[in-house]
Every structure is written in structure tokens, then in C-alpha cells.
Amino acid sequence: MKLHQLRIIPICVLAFVLGSCSDSDSIQNTPQKEVPNTEMVNTPPKETPTNNNQEGNKDPKFTFNTGTQELFLIDDTNAGYGFYFYTPNEYNIDNTSTFPLLIHLHGGGARGEGNLETSMNRIVYDGPSSLIKNNRWSPPTPMIVVSPQSPHLWDPKRLHDFIDYLIDNINIDTSRIYMTGFSMGGRGIFDYVTEYGVQSHTAAVAPIAGWSETNNGIPFKNVALWAFHGGADNIVSVNGSINMVKAINDSNPKIEAKLTIFPGVDHFSWGRVYDSTGRGRGDSNYDAFDMTIYEWMLQYSK
């Protein structure tokens, strides 16, 4: 093991989306109402494991330190991705506690095969992994955070298998698995839940600047969703989120999907979501950004 430290509106700019994103997000095309349990927000880790790990499924190559974020290249483990991996200080290595899991999906600018540290480092430019790196990570409940790297649009089956791998190898509360991502990562969330529906591992998801086809919102009937988008996004039209949230809510989900739009904000809207500096700055015609996405996620469990 090698360890390294609301209405349907046409989406007019999709052709441009697939050809260009800059900075941390350039996208490549490929074929391809229940009341929440608010007591979950500040609850401590569970003392009885719920992931039912089987010792025979554990990867002998995957060992890690607690309380730190570590880099694993694709050949370092049998996970199928290169990834950044964080466990909180409270993580109990003797398997007496389980923790919520947050999967973070990067955008197009961080694409890579997971085999180069220089490429993998682009993942920590944005999102929860960046907050962890810069000592700004403070969710209301300790969480495991995993940020994999993909060379192209996120593949739903590969993501599902990756989460299965994590369940087999770390102490995860499988009732509290969450996913967030921006641009290409937002698309990945929509595609993953659309593919797996009630069989998806996720209890709640937060896509930012995402898009997908809107012909079917039914797979989201049992998954809480809060989408975010910049109102002036000229790379992935805001209609990508508007249309998806409408399609989901038209399917009569158990938990109504939410949408927050930041007026005048361009494609790179995710920083204000992840560090919560955008709270109170959303368009009043849509859902208010009135709590952190981490507080919101932790209300929900499967």
C-alpha cells in the first residue's frame, strides 16, 4: 500500500456546456411530505454498527489514519477510483461506532484517472475536501468525507460499486449516506439517483450547477434533494436545475425537492454553498438558503 499525504424552460447552452468549463470545471461529453428527523442533526455517532461489514470483504491494501485527510491513488486500494479520504478524530478504529458518509463529486476541471498526485490535487481546490485541507471543516455531526476522481462524466454503476467498497471497509452508518457535487458532479448526482432510485445508497443529495434529462423524476421519490445554481450561469444554464427540480416535484416525492438560486452569480456558485457564505443571499422566489447543507442533509436517513 502506498499512502500519500417552476416551469420547464429549454436549456439553451448545453452545447456550450459540453465544450467548455474553466478553472475547476471543464466538462467532457460522453455517451452515456415526509417530515425529516431533525434530531439527527446533532446526534453523536451510533454505538452499534449498521454497515454489517464482512471481514472477508475488507481490502488489505486499505489502511488509514484517523483525524486526517489522506490521498489514495487508484492502485493503492481495490476501490476502483483514486480518492481523497477523511475520517474525523472521533472515528473509532475498533469498530464500535459508525459515522455518516459524505461523497463529494468534483467538476470537469478536476477530471483524471486517479493515478497522479498532481492531477488528484485538483480535487482539493473546491468543496468539502478543500475545507478540510484548510482547517475550515466543522459539520454539526462528525462525518467521513470521500472525494473520488473520475476521467469523464460520473458512471452510476462505478459510483455505486465504490460506495459498496467503502461500506465494506469503514464504519459507515448506511442510513446516513449523502452526496454533493458541482457541475459535472451535479450531473453525476442526478444520473446516479436516476439509475438506482430506491436502491441508491443516498438519503439526501445536494447538486450544484447541475443538469440532466427531465423525463423522469420518479427515482427521487425517496431521496431528499436540494439543488443550487447561479442565476447568471452561462456554462450550465440555471434551467438545468429548475427543470430537474420541477420534474422531481411533479412526481409527488415523499420529500419535496428544494432549489436555491443566487441572483447574478455565474457558474462558480459552489464555494458559497460549501462554506455557507451564500446564506441569506438567494432569490426570494426560490427556497431560502437558511441552513448549511450539512445540517440539512443530517435531517434525513434511509
Query: Domain limits at 24?
Result: 14-28+63-297
Indicate whether 51 belongs to any domain.
Answer: no
Indicate whether 36 belongs to any domain.
Answer: no
CATH number where 290 lies: 3.40.50.1820
C-alpha cell of 206?
Answer: 445536494
Indicate whether 9 belongs to any domain.
Answer: no
Indicate whether 53 belongs to any domain.
Answer: no
SS3 99: strand
C-alpha cell of 129?
Answer: 475536501
Q: How far apart are CA 268 and CA 111, in angstroms?
A: 17
Q: How far apart are CA 297 and CA 202, in angstroms?
A: 10
- What's the predicted TM-score (pTM) here? 0.83
Indicate whether 24 belongs to any domain.
Answer: yes
107 with 184: CB under 8 angstroms?
Answer: yes
Number of domains within the chain? 1
Indicate whether 44 belongs to any domain.
Answer: no
Indicate whether 21 belongs to any domain.
Answer: yes
Indicate whether 226 belongs to any domain.
Answer: yes
How do residues 14-61 score in pLDDT, each as one tens digit?
433 333 343 444 433 333 333 334 333 444 454 433 334 446 689 999
Query: Nearest CA to 64 among 48, 47, 79?
Result: 79
pLDDT means per 10 residues, the chain with 302 residues, are 42 38 40 36 43 66 94 98 96 82 97 96 96 96 97 98 97 97 97 95 98 84 96 97 94 96 98 97 98 98 94
Query: Nearest CA to 230 among 292, 274, 278?
Result: 278
